[in-house]
Structure 1
Amino acid sequence: MSRSMSMRSRRDLPPPQKTIEKLENMVDGGNYYEAQQMYKSTSARYIAAQKYLEALDILQSGAFVQLKHGQVTCGAELGVMLVDTLVKGALHYNEETFDHIRKIYEAFPRISIPHFLGDDYDDDGQKLSESISAAKVCAESCSSFMRAAIRWSAEFGTSRNGSPELHVLLAEYIYSESPETDMTKVSSHFVRGNDPKKFASMLRNFMGKCYPGEDDTAIARGVLMYISQGNLKDANLLIDELKEQLKSADLEFPKTDLIQFIKYLLPTLERDAYPLFRTLRQKYKTSTNRDPVFEELLDEIAAKFYDIRHQNPLEGLFGDMFRI
């Protein structure tokens, strides 16, 4: 295409608001698939013309309205296309671009899952199965969209781990909406976020519904993840905030060997005391062996704080845990 034709095609594109209104009416009328194809083809024309902001408006509107009508797969697809547009346009992470992501995130459905079956077991069981399946689709779709957004924010933002705000949003969605709570995944996003108080609130909520013995493991995992990232400040803040919240609710902080280990570990890392660190690991090895992730985290902590490194690089669980 010649330069003159390219410039003419840019001028010929209609104002995006007219397109947005037309396609929203199409979705409201139940023509989800046809509207989806038009969202994709129309936004592609704006992208080809390098009108990235207009393309973002179209894709955000499309994702939002599809999700509002329960079309989760369609909405998530348009959301990922919006992130791809941010990358293609080399658009940086800022308040405006974050707002595009946040509005789509907030539109993802929250599925209510019944916790008890009534007298009609067959009917209620079917409803439960359908709710769980729908919740899984929502959680997986939202996670895919948010992980794409985090990767973009890592490339075009100020944090190499991606936007802390986006990590917190994803952690909250995974915890509250996934039918099967994966606390390792939830914690891995919270520790790359910027809200340890909210993390403490989530742990407090988890402690009220987890199986015996899972509460201290969840607390220790969060603390060790923070420390493995070199973030001793938020590790201490997490413990202090959780203690305050439990005290306010007239509940006790867990008193186990694993929590005792964490209690001793935090002040140890504030000074050059590798022999004491090594002694603590040996003394509480039975407790830290409860979760295979702990030993890998402690190896990373030894490298981070005392420059003690194993000959072989860390692989497996630890690497997977922090993969976006």
Structure 2
Amino acid sequence: MSATTERGNSGRGGITRVLAKLEASVASGNYYEAHQMYRTLYFRYVGQKKFTECLDLLYNGAITFLNRNQQSSGIDLAILVVDTLEKSQEKNHELWIQRMGELLAKTSPAAVERETLITRAVKWSADISKNQLGHPLMHKLIARIMWSEGNIELARHHYLLSRDGVSCGEMLVHLSRNKGYPSETDLFIAQIILQQLCLKETKIASETFETYTKYHPKIARTEPPFVMPLLNFIFFLLKAIETNGKLAMFKALCDLYKASLDRDPSYEKYLQKIGIIFFGAQPPQQPGMGGLFGNLFTRMFQSMNEEEDAMPQQQHQQQSGSGGGPNTRSRRNDASSELD
């Protein structure tokens, strides 16, 4: 037997012994020792570029710890799963996004390491999907988790980035009925539609609007005339974008519904960007800002079309899920930070 073969057999034998000892440690409740052995095997597998074996080991280990409420150890192994995915050439991305969703669902909202895991998982999904905001499926899974925990703000944020108009519309119906006032029914849908349009998600915006208006009991229709003027505005805005409407049409629409749009000051910045993206509007000029500063200001607004390609990820901070309508201060800590 060659020296190379002997070394290979010795390495496999060493891993087998560690695995057997690991299982015994878990069975006896010696979780600290088991955690250290998982990490030892992680370094060995990665060093040998055995990424498939490493991923399966870490995933099963993380599930084992989290099922036993060993949050810190479980989340640590889950973070190592992401680390291994970043190092490997794993092609089955959807499988591992689903598995990351399973792991995240088992983590406690109170675990301090959870935010790191979510951030790393979204970043990895962004890399593999070539979408700097993260893979839509990852956001959809996180949104469901946050919603089930009552973290309404983060759920709304991730639904906005999930590219799932139906789920987003259903979420807003539930949110409006349980957290808002009847007079805010139109505000709940208007803000998120404008945000989706700023992200150039026209199809998703239409799906969201249709789902919301169809299933909200205070609306129960998908076409004008709506009782609430703001809903008519959103409907006609979506149609204008769909039919490549002219800038004059967009301006006339905004003027016609100005009283309704003035109910939320944040709409102005969204509409400025929508005008630039879809209707060829010029960036607004600041009075008294001529010369060098005026040119700098103009160039700043000209970059708005490309903002979503460089949007920073929102910090995943634990927030209260308590309610009120879309105009409360807590509701401003949402995806609008990516759209400014």
Interval of TM-score (by shorter of Structure 1 and Structure 2) = 0.7 to 0.9
Counterpart residue number, 2:121: 149
Given candidates 169, 178, 201, the residue that maps to 1:209 is: 178
1:202 maps to amino acid: M
Query: Please, what TM-score do these two structures have when normalized by structure 2?
Result: 0.70
1:229 maps to amino acid: L
Residue 287 of structure 1 deviates from its aligned partner by 4.3
Residue 171 of structure 1 deviates from its aligned partner by 1.3
Q: 1:50 to 1:226 in 2, by over 3 A?
A: same
Counterpart residue number, 2:75: 76
Q: Distance in 1 between matches of 2:9 and 2:282?
A: 56
Counterpart residue number, 1:133: none
Residues 165-174 or 279-288, more deviating: 279-288
Decide whether the 8 Å contact of 1:93 with 1:156 is kept in 2. Answer: no
Given candidates 275, 279, 292, the residue that maps to 1:306 is: 279
Q: Which consecutive unaligned segments of at least 5 residues does structure 2 have? A: 221-225, 284-297, 315-334
- Higher relative CO (CA 8 A, sep ≥ 6), structure 1 or 2? 2
Given candidates 137, 148, 152, the residue that maps to 1:181 is: 152
Q: Distance in 2 between matches of 1:299 and 1:15?
A: 64
Counterpart residue number, 2:46: 47
Decide whether the 8 Å contact of 1:167 with 1:192 is kept in 2. Answer: yes
Given candidates 231, 254, 263, the residue that maps to 1:259 is: 231
Deviations 1:135-154 (A, max 9, x none): x425x755542332222122
Deviations 1:247-295 (A, max 9, x none): xxx5435954433332332112222321232333345455445555533
Q: Distance in 2 between matches of 1:60 and 1:291?
A: 46
Counterpart residue number, 1:171: 143
Correspondence list, 1:220-231, <5 A: 220-231=190-201
Deviations 1:212-249 (A, max 9, x none): 25543331222122212222222111122223323xxx
Q: 1:75 to 1:309 in 2, by over 3 A?
A: farther
1:245 maps to amino acid: Y
Decide whether the 8 Å contact of 1:83 with 1:152 is kept in 2. Answer: yes
Counterpart residue number, 2:289: none
Q: Distance in 2 between matches of 1:190 and 1:10?
A: 50
Decide whether the 8 Å contact of 2:165 with 2:206 is kept in 1. Answer: no
Q: 1:106 to 1:6 in 2, by over 3 A?
A: farther
Q: 1:265 to 1:68 in 2, by over 3 A?
A: same
Instruction: Classify the secondary structure of the residue corresponding to 1:193.
Output: coil
Q: Highest CA radius of gyration, 1 or 2?
A: 2
Q: Distance in 1 between matches of 2:57 and 2:213?
A: 46
Q: Which consecutive unaligned segments of at least 5 residues does structure 1 have? A: 110-135
Counterpart residue number, 1:36: 35
1:207 maps to amino acid: S
Residue 307 of structure 1 deviates from its aligned partner by 3.7
Q: 1:37 to 1:211 in 2, by over 3 A?
A: same
RMSD: 3.5
The number of equivalent residue pairs is: 285
Q: Distance in 2 between matches of 1:241 and 1:256?
A: 16
Deviations 1:128-184 (A, max 9, x none): xxxxxxxx425x755542332222122223655432211101111222214x521xx
Residues 151-160 or 230-239, more deviating: 151-160
Residues 165-174 or 272-281, more deviating: 272-281
Q: 1:296 to 1:13 in 2, by over 3 A?
A: farther
Correspondence list, 1:1-20, <5 A: 8=7, 12-14=11-13
Q: 1:204 to 1:26 in 2, by over 3 A?
A: farther
